[in-house]
Chains A and B, each alone.
Chain A
């Protein structure tokens, strides 16, 4: 067991910071735009690791000319504390693939909507135990009553809202009256 401060334990720290790590890909110029999208597909939402940032719909565009890369990212909520972490994770994933110093461009318009969560993303949310958002055409109107939210565990429509807000800004808290399990609902905005 290496002692604290000796060379073995210090060397274990090597590469913990992405920019200290040698990129695994020596020829990033060979990457296509589709490759970049595939890399981003591997970056998971830190709050909801079941889905990727691509499936969440927050990657709005990728601009790549073989040298310079700009990724347009939109936040889910103005105050989402995961926004900066997500940007860091994206930079890290790209850096590991050999793309140095990508630019993350934060775009606010058009504002993110849960309609941008992909169909696969919605299914993954459900499998993860989070009821996916309805589409905004079925969106509850201002001050209106909530729509029926199906329990992601047993599929029952007999559910009730416990709180407008759940464990993160993007979720609300529900309870299933059939299987009695509580669950998160990904709010529709």
Chain B
């Protein structure tokens, strides 16, 4: 793999993870437990989809085969998607929605923080904008984890269940592959080891405050999202998200 191919791959991972989590959150539009919560979830989704567009624009320029960000989003099938498996997991219980958000936000925050110092100026620019938004997301999801974990008997039980359900998808966030190593060596992306330590450190800190138990560090982990091997959920997301563009390709009149 050339450096440019690795960079394209890396950008698609960032873009696809933002996009799929954003789409997942949008499913709660009109269905969130409270009005304020709905606004918060939709604003988070809006930030993520806006960030995805910035990554896609850069990726599209490098791929340079005539596909624009819309085509990358609406005309690729599941095996071409590079999002983290965590982001495609269903909303389920609100505790699962917030647990997924929290695990993602911690990873997102430390990743973007490091990308602001990327040797690639374009990446550093997009990241410095996105980091402010991710910081806000992380503060909010952390508060929810603590409120639910250290809340009533029932909220604690359901939040712990959510942690247990989602834990098997968290290994992928902090387990580097060849692309991650190549990008880190080029100074483009974070060093994998400190990123993993930071992620574990903050997750453990917040879960402890929330009286919740993290999963085992050596637990068996689902991986593959970064290579296009997805859980069955992604296909359903794409079927809904891509329907219009698949049914009416290049539709310009709505």
* Residue positions of A touching B, CB distance < 8 A: 75, 77-81, 108-113, 142-143, 162-169, 173, 187, 189
Contacts and interface: CB of A to CB of B under 8 A. Distances in A.
23 contacts: A77-B133, A78-B53, A78-B54, A78-B129, A79-B46, A79-B48, A79-B51, A80-B50, A108-B129, A111-B125, A142-B138, A142-B139, A143-B138, A163-B36, A163-B39, A163-B40, A164-B140, A165-B42, A165-B43, A165-B44, A168-B43, A169-B43, A169-B47
A169 B47 CA distance: 8
Contacts of B124: 109
Interface of B: 36-37, 39-40, 42-44, 46-51, 53-54, 121, 124-126, 128-133, 135-136, 138-140, 142-143
A79 B47 contact: yes
A113 B132 CA distance: 9
B126 A81 contact: no
Contacts of B54: 78, 108
The interface centre, meaning the residue of B121, B129, B131 with most chain A CB atoms within 10 A of its CB, is B129
Given A78-B50, A142-B138, A189-B136, A173 B39 contact: yes
Nearest to B134: A78
B20 to A, nearest CB: 15
A102 B80 CA distance: 38
Contacts of A81: 46
A143 B139 contact: yes
B36 to A, nearest CB: 3
Contacts of A108: 54, 125-126, 128-129
A189 B46 contact: no
**Secondary structure of the B side of the interface?**
helix
B128 A109 contact: yes
Given A109-B124, A142-B135, A163-B36, 4 more contacts: A78-B129, A78-B130, A142-B139, A165-B39
B39 A166 contact: yes
A162 B126 CA distance: 30
A13 B43 CA distance: 36
Contacts of B37: 163
B40 A165 contact: yes
A162 B129 CA distance: 26
A184 to B, nearest CB: 11
Contacts of B126: 78, 108
B128 A167 contact: no
Contacts of B139: 142-143, 164
Contacts of B49: 79
A164 B51 contact: no
Contacts of A168: 43
B110 to A, nearest CB: 12
Contacts of A109: 121, 124-125, 128-129
A152 B40 CA distance: 22
Contacts of A165: 36, 39-40, 42-44
Contact of A189 (B53, B121, B132): B132
Nearest to A74: B129
Contacts of A77: 46-47, 50, 133
